[in-house]
Structure 1
Amino acid sequence: MTRNILATVPVFLVAILLFPFHGRARENQPLEELQAVTAREEETELISSENWENFDSNPTLDFSVTEIDTSELVEENLANETMMQVPSVIQLRDVRPTDWAFQALQNLVEEYACLVGYPDGTYRGNRAITRYEFAAGLNACLNQIEVLLRENVTNEGNPGIPTEDLEILRRLTQEFEAELATLGTRVDNLETQVVFLEENQFSTTTKLRGQVFLNLTGAFADGDIRAEGLNAFIAQRDVAGENVERVITDDPEITLSDYIFLTLNTSFSGRDNLVVQLAAGNGNSPANQFVSAGLFNTFGTPFTDQRGAPAVNNDIILREIFYDFPVGDRLRFVVGARVNWYRYFDNNAFTFFLTGASSFNSSGSTQLNSIDRGAGAVAIWNVTDNLTLRVGYLGENTEFLPSPPFNTASDPTQGLFGGTNTTTVQLDYEPSDNATLRFIYNRSNIEASNGLIGGAIAEPIYGFADDSFGGPVGDATADTFAFNFDWRLTRRFGIFGRYSYGSTNIFPLTSGRNDGEINAQSFQFGLAFPDLVKEGALGTLSFVIPFDVVDGRKFLISGGGDGATQFEVEATYFYPVTNNLALVPAFYIIGNPNNFGDNGTIYVGNLRAQFSF
């Protein structure tokens, strides 16, 4: 008799423990109606892309009535909080008498004394439980019910379990007999698959993830475009000291390009992460045909429409390599030979290049940072639940720049603290779950190249600078102050923006010429439309002023134009077709390109297919 009753206990507990998470039940639903619900109702869960790393795709269930060592379960699942026994349901502060499952919870506490909750006094009945949490609760109830069953057998005058509950257990056994048999078969199949995967997996510590981007891009202008410099990379003055210009009259052709990330994530403890990322591409976006010297891959260029390497198309390069590890509960360190500055600074929920505003100028501050990837370290301190401090030092080691003269951090003639380097401090404040404010300060030491300051390592300036007479300058220093925010006002609407102000110190090498400054600012404001048309989609509208020269324009050989202010309007729509494929159309309008007021307007269209695996 005892053995037969015990066989019914798992079904009884499944019915009661899992009912609080069942989305189809009504509030205040009677216990008799709950007991009539069958396990045939299907339940689906949408797993978002950012949760795939934590999603267990090979769960196993075991309903056999055996003694369970809960301490062993807790050790196996360190990520879950320890659960505790509660003597009364009223001690669970998130459970109310009006909850539809209140009676079921009350029965488990007051009649069987086996309900478990969390140390903070909550039951968390609206979220799914893990297998470990279920096992802990099941074990507690099994132990208690087994004691009560023994009392039923040895002390029939004072039974430990009401007769009506025993009848419910018998009835549930018959009702769920077919489902339990099917479940047993499915569990056996899952265990077989797990064994196969464990025997054939790539690594027990490493996961390979990848993104493939295909870009179809076109650009045209409604008039001639003036651009400073001999081309997009070389700027100079003529014999009269005037900036050399060229005029672009022909529109570029439509291009189809690829860009690929392959990322190896390795964890040795479950809390650390060794990242090795490879990249390859062949993109040269059409809008680059219109730019002044030093503005390559800036306006009108989708972030993923690039080569990613110094010269050779689809040449495989090491884009990132770093180790991220915790020190205690609130402090993390990142150390590496090629740390991605944008992983840790100037983030924004609506301008992440994979899902949000998609161009180079819209996906991040145009005046941050002179180093994209560098050797060094970043510290991240979660001061409180809504306040985070980030501090980083990086020496330039950017993958798409040729070595020499770049990649100075690994060059023994310059080293980690010579050449170009930056120190960044960022304070994140989250006044609510839907808003984040970021305050950033960046100090840059910028190495001169061929007597000029400029190009890919010149931020906070856009273009090239000399001593204003055509003479050489030495290494520069710069200070940039930036503010960045995103705010989700409603479930389907948010706003975002940035403001930056940068001052670059120019040091002429020609005797008798005075030092100077180039002061410039940039601005961005945008609208975001999360879950537009489909859950997981994101539409963004962004207005950007990338480089407005406040003073010091005389030092600019390129980038200053005729004193006008360039502006950009961007519309991007991220549409996830499946969990592994997204289509991302985008359209850009660039007014006063290259800061020339008489230039035509440039229009850019881009369609990106984005594969993730």
Structure 2
Amino acid sequence: MKLFQQLLVAPAALGLLAPVAANAADLNINGVSDYASDEDIEQVTSITQFSDVYPTDWAYQALANLIERYGCVAGYPNGSFSGNRAMTRYEAAALLNSCLDSVTELTDDLARLIKEFERELSIIRGRVDGLEARVGELESSQFSTTTKLKGRTSWFLGAVRAKGDAGKLRKEYNADYGATVFSYDLALALKTSFTGKDLLFTRLRSGNSANAFGGAGFPITSLDYPTNTATEVRLGRLYYRFPVGSNFTVVAGPRMRNTENLGYKPSAYTAGGHPQLDLFSGRLGVPMVWNKATGGGFGVTYKSTSDKGDPYLTVAANYVAASANNGDPNSGGFMTDNAKGSITTQIAYGNKKWGVAAGYRYGQCDVSYGRGTEFARRNAFSQACQYSEATGDFDAAGNAIMTDKRSNADSNSWALNAFWRPSESGFVPSISASVGQSYLGGNYNYNTVDTFASWMVGLQWSDVFLMGNDMGFAIGQPMFAAAMDKGTPDDGNYAMELWYEFQVTDNISIAPGVYWLSRPMGELTPDDKSLGIFGGVIQTKFLF
């Protein structure tokens, strides 16, 4: 059908194009004559049939799409399109009607296909209805439409033994902690989101590791996962995190942890696999900054914008008070002198393949450091906020009168972390390293200790023997006294571990491992004597 002939049977399309009746003078008689003069012209099937249309024309692609997809563009008998020529409303109506005819043909084809596959479509429709019913049932029976529950339970089977020629100390330690134990840890995480970008995080925790794997005897023997709640279920975390703009994230809550809100974890040794000692995994070898302070607090994280996979910058700072829920200003409070507060900051740059970070933490009195030699623990893990001092006066019985004074104790700590992982698994492992120091302040005598230090290097291999199985080895020195007012401390102690994780299924793994502490008592080790701790454990982890 020619365009002019189509015009005669397209009153509906004409009405849409012309809100008022067209004047006869608007009709391009020459154009109509051109369309109607050649009875042999056919519909254009390719844009290349037009002699005056070129790829450089601004509407070239749009015209090509109309021809190839809908076949509703015609040209003049001379083979031209005359794209710059003025068009009458009659011609526009005729072209629109041609396109409507093509759409009608497509609709007819679609109806034919629907009828031809009516049986198959009916089966699919029934399955969709069944799925909708099942989804509706799940939604009606679930406890929350905004919350996801994720769980982890770990079992620990193993023992520790003291070695060395410090006979009395060795026997006492083995008598108290040397039995084979079988304990557990259970963590249930509730992740709630109200907008899709925020997170209300609640974690319930239970465990019974009242043994060396939980830090009894020497805290440095503690593994990463174990906890001891005497089998009671306790609240481990409760905080709310939400974005502000596209680069900032704010977090606040009565039960948050400083190291979980630094925006970036600069270690490959803690990602995947199953490291043993808490010193190497949860605290990244630098417990002075990564001390895992937990309590009431708030923080903010900045993350720069970058393309996926490219390095990015993060800057984070938070404040956490371990005694935030204590209403006695002499021993607790929130943002008070006795709050046991930690101000932790970190600046990091990297991606999943490599990264570097610098961290700093200011600690108030009574803030715990975590993992170190026994000498370091007794001198720095509990920096008393007050101490007693004689006034110079005596009571009626002749006893010296004492007065409590504020120690003004605090600490300033720094840490440097870096890691790199190969592009493909193989003989070359990922490498993680860290080093840090802490400086004590105040007018309290901490056995003349001024400075503490620690470091570690961790290696991890992926897909060892079987796909998905990892192996790791780490060595370092837990926090030890590095400087004193007088003399040189002999507080050195080396820690090392070796483990292999066998991935049974996607949600079950078994990880046997061993670790060795060469001198956990440090400076307190008797002269000319040795005392080391050997530990072996099989950890089984279930994720659900």
TM-score range, shorter chain: 0.5 to 0.7
* Inter-partner Cα distance in structure 2 for 1:465 and 1:210: 38
Q: For 1:258-269, list aligned pairs within 5 A.
A: 258-269=184-195
Q: For 1:423-572, list aligned pairs within 5 A.
A: 423-430=343-350, 432-447=351-366, 462-465=376-379, 474-492=407-425, 493-508=429-444, 517-552=449-484, 563-572=490-499
* Inter-partner Cα distance in structure 2 for 1:415 and 1:152: 77
Aligned to 1:152: 102
Q: Tell me how far 1:197 sits from its aligned partner.
A: 0.8
Pair 187,457 (structure 1): closer, same or farther in 2 beyond 3 Å: same
TM-score, with structure 2 as normaliser: 0.66
Aligned to 1:279: 205
Q: Tell me how far 1:281 sits from its aligned partner.
A: 0.9
Pair 465,529 (structure 1): closer, same or farther in 2 beyond 3 Å: same
Pair 393,189 (structure 1): closer, same or farther in 2 beyond 3 Å: same
Q: For 1:240-319, list aligned pairs within 5 A.
A: 248=173, 250=175, 252-286=178-212, 291=217, 295-296=218-219, 298-299=220-221, 301-307=222-228, 309=229, 313-319=230-236
Q: For 1:109-148, list aligned pairs within 5 A.
A: 111-112=68-69
* Inter-partner Cα distance in structure 2 for 1:369 and 1:198: 41
Pair 274,151 (structure 1): closer, same or farther in 2 beyond 3 Å: same
Aligned to 2:530: 599
* Inter-partner Cα distance in structure 1 for 2:288 and 2:115: 68
Q: What 5-or-longer segments of structure 2 have no aligned partner? A: 1-54, 56-63, 71-96, 307-311, 390-405
- Does residue 350 (structure 1) correspond to residue 282 (structure 2)? The answer is no
* Inter-partner Cα distance in structure 1 for 2:246 and 2:273: 30
Aligned to 1:82: none
Pair 528,608 (structure 1): closer, same or farther in 2 beyond 3 Å: same
* Inter-partner Cα distance in structure 2 for 1:320 and 1:410: 20
* Inter-partner Cα distance in structure 2 for 1:108 and 1:218: 75
- Does residue 380 (structure 1) correspond to residue 301 (structure 2)? The answer is yes
| Larger radius of gyration between Structure 1 and Structure 2 | 2
* 1:41-71 Cα deviation digits (max 9, x unpaired): xxxxxxxxxxxxxxxxxxxxxxxxxxxxxxx
* Inter-partner Cα distance in structure 2 for 1:540 and 1:110: 64
* Inter-partner Cα distance in structure 1 for 2:369 and 2:299: 25
Q: Tell me how far 1:108 sits from its aligned partner.
A: 9.4
* 1:276-315 Cα deviation digits (max 9, x unpaired): 2111111023367884xxx42x23x2122330x4xxx112
Q: Tell me how far 1:387 sits from its aligned partner.
A: 0.5
* Inter-partner Cα distance in structure 2 for 1:465 and 1:571: 30
Aligned to 1:341: 258
* 1:344-376 Cα deviation digits (max 9, x unpaired): 247244343874423111111222345521211
Aligned to 1:240: none
**Which amino acid is 1:253 matched to?**
A
**Which amino acid is 1:576 matched to?**
Q
Pair 221,508 (structure 1): closer, same or farther in 2 beyond 3 Å: closer
Q: Tell me how far 1:594 sits from its aligned partner.
A: 2.0
* Inter-partner Cα distance in structure 2 for 1:258 and 1:506: 41
CA contact (8 A) 2:376 2:480 kept: no
TM-score, with structure 1 as normaliser: 0.59
* Inter-partner Cα distance in structure 1 for 2:225 and 2:165: 27
**Which amino acid is 2:529 matched to?**
D
* Inter-partner Cα distance in structure 2 for 1:572 and 1:338: 32
CA contact (8 A) 2:149 2:189 kept: yes
- Does residue 216 (structure 1) correspond to residue 157 (structure 2)? The answer is yes
* Inter-partner Cα distance in structure 2 for 1:109 and 1:553: 87
Aligned to 1:575: 502
Of 587-596 and 272-281, the range deviating more from structure 2? 587-596
* 1:257-276 Cα deviation digits (max 9, x unpaired): 11111222211111111112
Aligned to 1:320: 237
CA contact (8 A) 1:497 1:523 kept: yes
Q: For 1:384-395, list aligned pairs within 5 A.
A: 384-385=305-306, 386-395=312-321
* Inter-partner Cα distance in structure 1 for 2:68 and 2:439: 72
Give SS of 1:446's match: coil
- Does residue 329 (structure 1) correspond to residue 221 (structure 2)? The answer is no
**Which amino acid is 1:490 matched to?**
S
* Inter-partner Cα distance in structure 2 for 1:334 and 1:460: 35
* Inter-partner Cα distance in structure 2 for 1:461 and 1:195: 61
Aligned to 2:288: 367
* Inter-partner Cα distance in structure 2 for 1:193 and 1:266: 23
Aligned to 1:6: none
**Which amino acid is 1:478 matched to?**
S
* Inter-partner Cα distance in structure 2 for 1:149 and 1:227: 99
Q: Tell me how far 1:226 sits from its aligned partner.
A: 8.2
CA contact (8 A) 1:226 1:248 kept: no
CA contact (8 A) 2:161 2:533 kept: yes
Aligned to 1:101: none
- Does residue 422 (structure 1) correspond to residue 336 (structure 2)? The answer is no
Of 335-344 and 573-582, the range deviating more from structure 2? 573-582
Aligned residues: 415
Q: Aligned Cα RMSD in Å?
A: 4.2
**Which amino acid is 1:415 matched to?**
G
Give SS of 1:314's match: coil
* Inter-partner Cα distance in structure 1 for 2:476 and 2:348: 22
Give SS of 1:197's match: helix
Give % identity. 22
**Which amino acid is 1:606 matched to?**
V
Give SS of 2:521's match: helix
* 1:220-268 Cα deviation digits (max 9, x unpaired): 133255899xxxxxxxxxxxxxxxx996464610111111112222111
Give SS of 1:284's match: coil
* Inter-partner Cα distance in structure 1 for 2:66 and 2:454: 61
